[in-house]
Chains A and B, each alone.
Chain A
Amino acid sequence: MKRLLPIAIFLGLFILLARSLFVPQMDLPSPLIGKQIPSFSLNELGKSSTVTHQDLLGDIALINIWATWCVGCEIEHDFLVELSLDQDLDIPIIGINWKDRDDLATRWLIQKGNPYSKILSDPIGNTAIDFGVYGAPETFLIDDQGIIHYKHIGPMDRQNFEQDILPRIVALRK
């Protein structure tokens, strides 16, 4: 029995460490959940008007950080367009175009369709840092007070949207 103890400890540690090898580390918890969206003042894409964080209040909305250089955004785009056309869901998608060129972004939207109700341009990436963005696309769910309820990292699709985001939207609307 005594001899089994070291083996038990070893096995315990082995399982503990082996498990963390197989848990995907990509999705880091965001410290911004439950907090107000960071304040910003950005130009609207291709326009001279500015939009601040206060202009985003009043609606439950999705904030999607994207760029034309981002491969995941290309994968996600069709689904975003599909979402924006969903009349039952009826949720505004606000785009933040991250470290991109306005002309490239505008062309992309003409070619692929524009799912966004508003697009802000963050060429330097300061606002993205305030949002804790590290890999586009990232999508934040905010309520009408501008509180962040969820952050999705990577391309959204029908499956992860219905699993992780839709139930939260439904709960917020109750």
Chain B
Amino acid sequence: MKRIALMFLLLPFQVVPDDLNTNLTATQQELYQGIIQEVRCLVCQNQSIAESNAELAKDLREEIFQQVEQGRNEAQVKSYLQERYGDFVLYEPSFKQSTYFLWLSPILILILILGWLRKIGVF
């Protein structure tokens, strides 16, 4: 039992990326950290590139770092990645024709549930 508890205690330990550079301003640092957590590592698809130690993830972190350093904003960096790797690279897909259903389905389901509740006479 203790061992199992210990296993769970160890889980939250995060891999610290090796490239925590400091020549960014505080805002840029924050922007950089924010972006890399929202970009999927395509080699290891259930990790963000912030968490992954794959070579490609390192390269992409480096690329994003440089772009942030050059003063590009979040939208610019994300569209840079999207143009090359497609929607899948971002954890949060953009709102467009092929993703309408994805974004709007929760609202649709909510309406259906409300309709159903009304029908069975909850209100």
Verify that A and B bind, or say they do not: yes
Closest chain-B Cβ to A127's Cβ sits at a distance in Å of 11
Stretch at the interface among B11-19, B21-29, B68-76, B78-86: B78-86
Chain A residues with CB below 8 A from B45, complex form: 25
Residues in A neighbouring B84, C-beta threshold 8 A: 31-32, 129-132
Measured between alpha carbons, how far is A122 from B88 in the docked complex, in Å? 25
With both beta carbons as reference points, the residue of chain B lying nearest to A125 in the complex is identified as B59
Name the B residues within 8 Å of A14 (CB-CB): none
| Interface presence of B20 (CB below 8 A) | no
Once A125-B59, A129-B60, A129-B63 are accepted as A-B contacts, the answer to whether A135 and B42 lie under 8 Å apart by CB is yes
Question: CA of A133 to CA of B88 in the docked complex: distance in angstroms?
Answer: 13
Interface residues on B, range: 10 to 19
Closest to B82 in A: A31
Do the beta carbons of A31 and B55 come within 8 Å of each other?
A: no
> Contact at B56–A29, with CB atoms within 8 Å?
no
Interface of A is mostly: loop
Output the least CB separation between A39 and chain B (Å).
Answer: 13
In this complex, what residue of A is CB-closest to B84?
A132
B2 to chain A, nearest CB (A): 35
Within 8 A of A (CB), among B25-43: 42-43
Residues of A within 8 A of B43 (CB): 134-135
Interface 1/0 per residue, B56-67 and A, CB below 8 Å: 100110010000
Instruction: Point out the residues of chain B lying under 8 angstroms from A126, CB to CB.
Output: 63
Interface residues of A in 100-133 (CB under 8 A from B): 124-126, 128-133
Chain B residues with CB below 8 A from A30, complex form:
86
Most buried by A among B84, B85, B86: B84
In Å, the complex CA distance between A134 and B43 comes to 6
Pick the residue among A99, A130, A134 that contacts B42 (CB under 8 A). A134
Residue of B nearest to A6 (CB): B116
Q: Which of A124, A131, A134 is in CB contact (< 8 Å) with B56?
A: A134
Q: List 23 A-B contacts (CB under 8 A).
A: A25-B45, A28-B42, A28-B88, A29-B86, A31-B82, A31-B83, A31-B84, A32-B84, A99-B55, A99-B59, A125-B56, A126-B63, A128-B59, A129-B63, A129-B84, A130-B84, A131-B84, A132-B85, A133-B56, A134-B43, A134-B85, A135-B42, A135-B43
Give 15 new A-B contacts, CB below 8 A, not counting A31-B84, A125-B56: A28-B42, A31-B85, A31-B86, A32-B84, A99-B55, A99-B59, A125-B59, A128-B59, A129-B84, A132-B85, A133-B56, A134-B56, A134-B85, A135-B42, A135-B43
